[in-house]
Structure 1
Amino acid sequence: MSAPVGQSAKLPGETQPLAVSRARLSPQLRGKWLAALCLLPFAIFFMVFQIAPLVWVAINSLNSAEGWGLANFAKIFGSKFYLQAIKHSLQIAFWSSLFGMSIAILGSYSLHQVDSKLRDFVMAFSNMTSNFAGVPLAFAFIILLGFNGALTLLLIKIGLIESFNLYSKNGLIVLYTYFQIPLGVLLLYPAFDALREDWRESAALLGANTWDFWRHIGLPVLTPALLGTFVILLANALGAYATVYYLTTGNFNVMPIRIAGLVSGDISLDPNLASALAMILVGLMAVITVAHQLLLKRNRHVAR
């Protein structure tokens, strides 16, 4: 019997497209399962060494001699000593990140204008010095900028400075800025690849000067990279421990030093209070990260 006009006859072969689509989907599904299996070791590693310790620290921060609660946090925010540690950490991290990123911006932009051999050398040197920290860095700065350091004595002799205290807050800002610069260069250098030379030429043809180009084109394009780099430098400075410890033998009051002292100290041993300080440090980084994301969204909205 013939099928009605406008309708195709139902034949047994009509199920072939469904079978073909399933055959086509099966490799995709297998690929997704394979990707999930490859991701599994990383997920386990992340849970065991990132999430689990963070949860453990968060739980212990709520445990004190008075029982469960916010007693540790009340003790921290009620103590001028611990508030000074938080203040010093934030000040050193902010200023060293700002100075380091400012120098890194100039350096990254300049590297795009120089010969490739010099550029490769500087990038390799930045990669090496970004890992130069801890005892060697502290020892190097003591030799250069200590009370009897070579550079300190030279600057005093020629009359540029009267004295310089490497072991003060300003001295630590100089020290932190040093190891922020190579990291900033490594992070910002790829961002300048996004600035195309024909954009500058087009802007010049339309009558824009250098300031107009950077204000309306350069800075909006670089803003996400600049904000991201600043956040990473802040985290790098807030968590720095080895260099400041070996430089000041643990006598300067910053949060990593206080956390280490509460964990390993014989007199002031209080790991639960150290956990509370660590959670405050995590909270500060969370606030900075959220602010970074909000600024990025605002920048994308303005760019549109």
Structure 2
Amino acid sequence: MSATEPRQSRSKWLAALWLVPFALFFFAFQIAPLIWITLNSVNVDGSWSLANFEKIFSSKFYLQAIKHSLQVGFWSSLFGIIIAIIGSYSLHQVDSKLRDFVMAFSNMTSNFAGVPLAFAFIILLGFNGAITLLLKQIGWIDDFNLYSKTGLIVLYTYFQIPLGVMLLYPAFDALREDWRESAALLGANTWDFWRHIGLPVLTPALLGTFVILLANALGAYATVYYLTTGNFNIMPIRIAGLVSGDISLNPNLASALSMVLLGLMALITIVHQVLLKRSYHVAR
């Protein structure tokens, strides 16, 4: 045994020891709550049962919450990633000072959520908001309801864009300029380049970003709660109402609804992995 082997072994044990606080923190705030929610979701009056899930999937009210969450999450993620793609690509074409400013601004606005964001949108796009009144005066819109599903999609899209830009901007670094020049020399136009080179290279990043944006939308609570005072029927609002409500207090049903939300995210992640493998296969 060389003299360096005991030293390397001690270094590995020391590194593992430094991971213990993180492991304890992760178990206490991630694994333990998940176990608690899982057990309580199948607990009905002290006995094991799937009655909570049966109640969710047989109730039009909770099915509507699931539907609204998926609709708002999907469309806001789709619009957000489309705008983020355009913005990220454009940032690679502009001056570095402007690019740094936009990235810093995106970093700041990605954390602008909750009560301040809801208040800002009420001032701008509420029934008597500045932009709403201006668009009505111009004649571009007859009416706009910020507190409806369409209004929430607009609101969600706003806070999806900065996150999408920060996630997608590094992905465009993988597109080398000499690839475009080589494709042009071989007779490929812009559409051919993006179809056969650009999109296959960016597909993993696009799919991953879309899943993150969708998860971000499905779990959003504070902004929509303060905007609609909890009256819009989406899953986070229903879960919170079942946990803290004075009339409809039912933490076990809230746990079951949380498991449904977790199941939706797991399904979306599985679909993402399948599409990702197919994209790698096509790229090859």
Give the TM-score of the pair, scaled to structure 1.
0.91
Deviations 1:225-259 (A, max 9, x none): 00000000000000000000000000000000000
Secondary structure of the equivalent of 2:188? coil
Give the aligned CA root-mean-square deviation in angstroms: 1.1
Residues 1:138 and 2:118 are matched in the alignment: yes
Deviations 1:114-135 (A, max 9, x none): 0001001000000000000111
Partner of 1:289: 269
Secondary structure of the equivalent of 2:248? coil
Deviations 1:241-294 (A, max 9, x none): 000000000000000000000000000000000000001000100111111111
**Structure 1 residues 29 and 175: CA distance shift in structure 2, 3 A:** same
Aligned partners of 2:125 and 2:132 also within 8 Å: yes
Aligned partners of 2:73 and 2:214 also within 8 Å: yes
Report how far residue 30 of structure 1 moved: 2.5
Deviations 1:130-179 (A, max 9, x none): 00011110010001100011100110111100000000000000000000
Partner of 1:8: none
Matches for 1:16-31 after TM superposition, within 5 Å:
19-20=1-2, 23-31=3-11
Q: Distance in 1 between matches of 2:273 and 2:19?
A: 26
* Length, aligned pairs only: 284
Residues 1:276 and 2:260 are matched in the alignment: no
Tell me, which stretches of 5 or more residues in structure 2 are unaligned?
Answer: none
Report how far residue 67 of structure 1 moved: 2.8
Q: Distance in 2 between matches of 1:241 and 1:121?
A: 29
Residues 1:227 and 2:207 are matched in the alignment: yes
Matches for 1:182-221 after TM superposition, within 5 Å:
182-221=162-201
Partner of 1:236: 216
Deviates more, 1:39-48 or 1:71-80: 39-48
Q: Distance in 2 between matches of 1:177 and 1:303?
A: 30
Deviations 1:2-49 (A, max 9, x none): xxxxxxxxxxxxxxxxx33xx343333233222212222211111111
Secondary structure of the equivalent of 1:101? helix
4+ residue runs over 6 A deviation? none
Report how far residue 89 of structure 1 moved: 0.2
Residues 1:267 and 2:247 are matched in the alignment: yes
Q: Distance in 2 between matches of 1:220 and 1:31?
A: 41
Work out which of the residue numbers 133, 153, 173 in structure 1 matches 2:153: 173
Larger Rg: 1
Query: What amino acid sits opposite 1:190 in the alignment?
Result: P
Residues 1:73 and 2:53 are matched in the alignment: yes
Report how far residue 66 of structure 1 moved: 7.6
Residues 1:257 and 2:237 are matched in the alignment: yes
Partner of 1:120: 100
Secondary structure of the equivalent of 2:19? helix
Tell me, which stretches of 5 or more residues in structure 1 are unaligned?
Answer: 1-18
Give the TM-score of the pair, scaled to structure 2.
0.98
Deviations 1:49-101 (A, max 9, x none): 10110010000000113831100000000000000000000000000000000
Work out which of the residue numbers 21, 25, 34 in structure 2 matches 1:41: 21
Deviations 1:194-235 (A, max 9, x none): 111111111111111111111111111111100000000000
Query: What amino acid sits opposite 1:279 in the alignment?
Result: M
> Identity of counterpart residues, as a percentage?
83
Q: Distance in 2 between matches of 1:289 and 1:194?
A: 24
